[in-house]
Structures are given as structure tokens and as C-alpha cells.
Amino acid sequence: MSLSRRLLRVAAPLALIAISTSGAAWSPRLDLALTTGAWSAPGGVSAGLLLWYDTAETGTMSLAPRLRYWFDKSGQAQHAQVSSGQFQPYPTLASGVAGLQFSGAAVQLPTSIPLEPMTVMLVFRQSNESLSHPLMGSRTRFSGITMEMGRLRMYSNGQSVGASTARTTTGLTITTVRTAVGSTDGVQYNGGPEMPFSITTTESMNWIGGMFVAGTAKYFVGTIMEVVIWGRSLSVSELQAAHRALGAKWGISVP
């Protein structure tokens, strides 16, 4: 084979890699691992997994030095990004574990997540239990999930549609919100008893750590470690398996 042909065979795949990754800003090796499902879902609950962001896997965060991209571990290629600015989340330690500190910016999701049906598990720590913190929400509408004075509240286009009792735990917490079409919805803290509520909505979320509230963007203040979202209502056994996996991973006591 001639030298020119050998060079062409090498250059062609390299050019393809450059074209497919230059705009996304992640390496071909990392993207391959993510899209092929290199990680097992929490508790092995993979059916309906929509997206999965995790600070324990430092290779899934593009930091310069603040967060620019957060790569999806679900295998669905739902990689998220943050606009460049002084309030970008940055890596920190909270309760002795690695996380992302949020203080004035949200992570924009590449897709909208319906508020119903879904199951979302967030591992986080608030900076102050007495404040209002949007955990996830819409960047254009008053819809999503917030922590208000230690209680979880859900909003659908400005209407409060569900609230939990006050949390019995402080510090690093697994907060779970589960919604089902035509059935009871629920909230759990650290895999404890589910507190029921009811929501019927067609609203969706596309921000982590932010929500558009009464015409103004509001942001979460605290540290987020992990976000896992399924596009369905998990069963009791699936919730238990996922909670136990996350609890063991982050050193959180769960039943």
C-alpha cells in the first residue's frame, strides 16, 4: 500500500472524531464509555433511566476550573452544560465527599423532563436549611421542585401542588420525588417512609439548581453530588435498591 493511502486511512477516522467532538468538548474515549453504558444504574434499576450526573466520577465533569459540561452516565447521551460566568458551579468538599458548589447558576439540561411521571433522586446538602432552594425546575416557567424551610414543595406553573413534612435529617441527604399518572405520588428522605401527595400536571423541568419564579431566575445554594432521573414511577423494591446503593456510595444511612 502506498504511503499516501496509509496516511489517508489514519487521517479519516481522526477527522471524524474531531468533527464529532469539537463542539461538545469531551474526549472520544469518555464519550464512548458513557454511550456504551460503562456504569450500572443505582441498585441495578436501569429501565426508564433518563439521565444520571455524578460528581463521584470526576472524569464526567469538564472543569475549567468551574463546571462547563456534566456528562451523562445513563447511556442516553444527555450531556448538560453551564454558561460561562462567575457563578458557574465549582468542585468542593461537603460532609467529607466531593460535590459541586452552586451559588448563582443552574445546569441546563439538554432535554425537558416531565414532572409526571418520573422518579428523581438527588444527593445534596443545602447551605442553609431555613432558605428556599430550587432543586430542579424550568428556566422559563414557575414549575419544578424546591426545598422551602426544610420542606419539599412542587410547583406547576406557579401553583403549589404538593408539600412534604419537615425533613428529619440535616446535612447530606438523598431526596426522592416519585410521581405517577393517575396514582398517589410521594417524597422520601434517605429511603425512609414515603410521604404521599398528589400532582396532575403537564409541566416539565430543564434546569438543575434553578427555577424561573415570578419572572425571575432563582438558584439553589449548596452542594449537589448526584442527580438520577427515571422517566417512570419506580416500584417499592426498586426505590429500596436504588436508595441502598446511593446510601452505601455516599455514606448515608438508609433502611
By DSSP bridging, strand 61-63 and strand 151-156 are unpaired
Three cell numbers, residue 171: 446535612
Q: How many angstroms separate the CA atoms of 125 and 224, rounded?
A: 7
9 falls within a domain: no
- Residue 148: is it exposed, middle or buried by C-beta count within 10 angstroms (0-12/13-18/19+)? middle
Give the H or E element holding residue 138. none
205 falls within a domain: yes
Split into its structural domains, the chain has a count of 1
In tens, the pLDDT along 154-199 reads: 999 999 887 777 776 678 999 999 999 989 999 999 999 999 998 8
In tens, the pLDDT along 7-33 reads: 334 333 323 223 233 334 444 445 445
Q: How many angstroms separate the CA atoms of 70 and 78, rounded?
A: 9
User: What are residue 57's phi and psi, to 5 degrees?
Assistant: -100, 90
Could you tell me which residues come within 8 angstroms of residue 54 by beta carbon, excluding any fewer than 6 positions away? Answer: 60, 73, 225, 226, 227
**pTM for the full model?**
0.85
Q: CATH no. for residue 99?
A: 2.60.120.200
- The stretch 123-141 carries a mean pLDDT of 87
224 falls within a domain: yes
Three cell numbers, residue 156: 406547576
C-alpha pair distances (Å), 180 with each of 44, 58, 194, 223: 21, 33, 14, 28
128 falls within a domain: yes
29 falls within a domain: no
86 is in which domain, residue-wise? 37-250
Is 120 or 128 the better-scoring residue by pLDDT? Answer: 120
166 falls within a domain: yes
Long-range contacts of 34-39 (CB under 8 A, 24+ apart): 34/60, 34/71, 34/72, 34/73, 34/75, 34/77, 34/79, 35/75, 35/77, 36/75, 37/75, 38/73, 39/73
Q: Would the pLDDT of 150 be above 70?
A: yes
12 falls within a domain: no
**R_g of the chain, CA atoms, integer Å:** 19
16 falls within a domain: no
